[in-house]
């Protein structure tokens, strides 16, 4: 039995988080880590051609995503956001269907590279591979929400490298002008592949740039899950109240190379990586849960073993799932009319057909700006 300690001024309570929330956050963090370790193993075994690691970023992704509401809000993640997507309802099974390029992969039916997360059902918006292209998408979605009077907000994540792109400036500027209900979350891991921060910007922090767009910018410790939650909750409340965007910069670190195709020994010392691992957000949050009496001393290893077993089971299920019909290779890659005759199968296909039916029966509204001019 866990020994209950006097909670007194427990930080999570003042943030309105229940014990159930805390354990849910912790288990999601560990699940993401187990998925990451499994996908790297599969890569080395030659079963997964390309993987994008999340390890090190779980704290800031889960802390921020937890403050949004599933089924109501919309998330616009980037490739490193496996953990944020798990919060929004993507499952380890979905992750590995994508890793293996299976037709039931909810993100793209195996058409996109892995880690290009997407689910219409879960309000997860797909991204393109060029960095920062999701930023104008997120601003546009937030504009549509405001225009339609929808009671929801957009959460959009990106790396520090993305903030050097023109798309980033345009999206943030537009969101500031129109006071859009969007929260911009930068996962600052100090590198854009091999390019360090000092070669990307002449200011100290990404958050300083928010001033140029007319909304608040804050920097938080990305290894402090509750700190990330707190900053995001405040930003979500602001957005829901109609007070516009916030830029949150989470200082984090990726423990693995950029992707399975990268060799980070060419640009980072092993000492630097080891130092970062000492501040592993999973270890720090596990300690907090032990202090709060929510986990027994040493129970972290049991949770890890239990979730590893679950993830390994999902890897096997995804591996055994049917492969795509070779005849369907062109579907969703070229025009629908040409692809339809190739008869793809799978859950992604069913959803896509339903979407196309809905699109053709919808009348698109004409947007007007605040002066009433048609655009």
Q: Catalytic residue numbers? A: 254, 258, 267
Please identify, using beta-carbon distances, which residue of 165 and 312 lies nearer to ligand TPP: 165
Phi-psi region of 158 (alpha: psi -120 to 50; beta: other; left: phi over 0): beta
Output the smallest distance, CB 185 to ligand TPP, in A: 12
Check residue 160 for interaction with Mg ion (CB under 5 A). yes
Choices 27-35, 137-145, 189-197, 302-310 (CB under 5 A): range interacting with Mg ion: 189-197
Reduced 3-state DSSP string for the chain: CCCCCCCCCCHHHHCCCCHHHHHHHHHHHHHHHHHHHHHHHHHHCCCCCCCCCCCCCHHHHHHHHCCCCCCCCEEECCCCCHHHHHHCCCCHHHHHHHHCCCCCCCCCCCCCCCCCCCECCCCECCCCCCCCCHHHHHHHHHHHHHHHCCCCCEEEEEECHHHHCHHHHHHHHHHHHCCCCEEEEEEECCEECCEEHHHCCCCCCHHHHHHHHCCCEEEEECCCHHHHHHHHHHHHHHHHCCCCCEEEEEECCCCCCCCCCCCHHHCCCHHHHHHHHCCCHHHHHHHHHHHCCCCCCCHHHHHHHHHHHHHHHHHHHHHHCCCCCHHHCCCCCCCHHHHHCCCCCCHHHHHHHHHHHHHHHCCCCCCECCCCCEC
Output the smallest distance, CB 158 to ligand TPP, in A: 6
Please identify, using beta-carbon distances, which residue of 39 and 189 lies nearer to Mg ion: 189
Using CB under 5 A as the criterion, what x/- string covers residues 191-210 for binding Mg ion? x-------------------
Using CB under 5 A as the criterion, what x/- string covers residues 106-145 for binding Mg ion? ----------------------------------------
Choices 15-23, 33-41, 188-196, 334-342 (CB under 5 A): range interacting with Mg ion: 188-196
Rounded distance, CA 186 to CA 239, Å? 17
Please identify, using beta-carbon distances, which residue of 191 and 285 lies nearer to Mg ion: 191
356 binds, among ligand TPP, Mg ion, none (CB under 5 to 8 A by kind): none
The residue number whose beta carbon is nearest to ligand TPP equals: 159
CB atoms within 10 A of CB 10: 18
Q: Of 53, 159, 257, 286, which one interacts with Mg ion (CB under 5 A)?
A: 159
Q: Which residues bind ligand TPP (CB under 6 A)?
A: 80, 129-131, 158-162, 187, 189, 191-193, 258
Output the smallest distance, CB 277 to ligand TPP, in A: 17
Output the smallest distance, CB 2 to Mg ion, in A: 37
Output the smallest distance, CB 257 to ligand TPP, in A: 10
Output the smallest distance, CB 166 to ligand TPP, in A: 9
33 binds, among Mg ion, ligand TPP, none (CB under 5 to 8 A by kind): none
Please enumerate in sequence order all residues whose Cβ is within 8 A of that of 284, keeping only pairs 6 or more positions apart, or say none: 59, 223, 224, 225
Contact present, 94 and 118 (Cβ < 8 Å) = no
Number of chain residues interacting with Mg ion (CB under 5 A) = 5
258 binds, among ligand TPP, Mg ion, none (CB under 5 to 8 A by kind): ligand TPP
Record the tokens describing residue 197, joined without a space: 């921060």
Please identify, using beta-carbon distances, which residue of 146 and 258 lies nearer to ligand TPP: 258
Output the smallest distance, CB 329 to ligand TPP, in A: 24
Check residue 163 for interaction with Mg ion (CB under 5 A). no
Length of the chain: 375
111 binds, among ligand TPP, Mg ion, none (CB under 5 to 8 A by kind): none
193 binds, among ligand TPP, Mg ion, none (CB under 5 to 8 A by kind): ligand TPP
Check residue 189 for interaction with Mg ion (CB under 5 A). yes
Binding site for Mg ion (CB under 5 A): 159-161, 189, 191
């Amino acid at each position: 039995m866990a020994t209950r300690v006097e909670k007194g001024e427990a930080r999570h309570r003042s943030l309105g988080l229940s014990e159930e929330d805390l354990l849910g956050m912790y288990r999601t963090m560990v699940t993401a880590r187990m998925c990451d370790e499994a996908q790297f193993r599969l890569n080395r075994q030659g079963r997964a051609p390309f993987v994008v690691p999340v390890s090190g970023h779980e704290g800031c992704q889960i802390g921020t995503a937890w403050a949004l509401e599933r089924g109501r809000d919309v998330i616009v993640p980037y490739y490193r956001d496996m953990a944020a997507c798990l919060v929004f309802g993507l499952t380890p099974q979905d992750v590995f269907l994508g890793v293996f390029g299976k037709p039931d992969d909810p993100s793209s039916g195996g058409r996109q590279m892995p880690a290009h997360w997407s689910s219409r059902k879960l309000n997860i918006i797909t991204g393109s591979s060029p960095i920062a292209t999701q930023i104008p998408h997120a601003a546009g979605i937030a504009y549509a929400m405001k225009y339609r009077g929808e009671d929801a907000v957009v959460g959009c994540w990106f790396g520090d490298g993305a903030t050097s792109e023109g798309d980033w400036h345009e999206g943030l500027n537009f969101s500031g002008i129109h006071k859009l209900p969007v929260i911009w979350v930068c996962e600052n891991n100090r590198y854009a592949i091999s390019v360090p921060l000092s070669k990307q910007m002449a200011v100290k922090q990404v958050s300083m740039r928010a001033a140029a767009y007319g909304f608040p910018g804050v920097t938080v410790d990305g290894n402090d899950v509750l700190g990330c939650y707190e900053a995001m909750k405040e930003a979500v409340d602001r957005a829901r109240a109609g007070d516009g965007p916030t830029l949150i910069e989470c200082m984090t670190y990726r423990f693995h190379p950029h992707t399975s195709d990268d060799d980070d020994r060419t640009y980072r010392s092993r000492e630097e990586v080891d130092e970062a691992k000492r501040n592993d957000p999973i270890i720090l949050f596990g300690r907090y849960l032990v202090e709060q009496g929510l986990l027994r001393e040493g129970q972290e290893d049991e949770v890890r073993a239990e979730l590893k077993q679950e993830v390994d089971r999902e890897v096997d299920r995804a591996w055994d799932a049917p492969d795509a019909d070779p005849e369907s290779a062109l579907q969703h890659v070229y025009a629908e009319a040409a692809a339809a005759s190739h008869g793809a199968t799978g859950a992604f296909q069913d959803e896509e057909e339903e979407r196309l039916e809905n699109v053709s029966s919808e009348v698109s509204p004409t947007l007007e700006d605040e002066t009433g001019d048609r655009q």
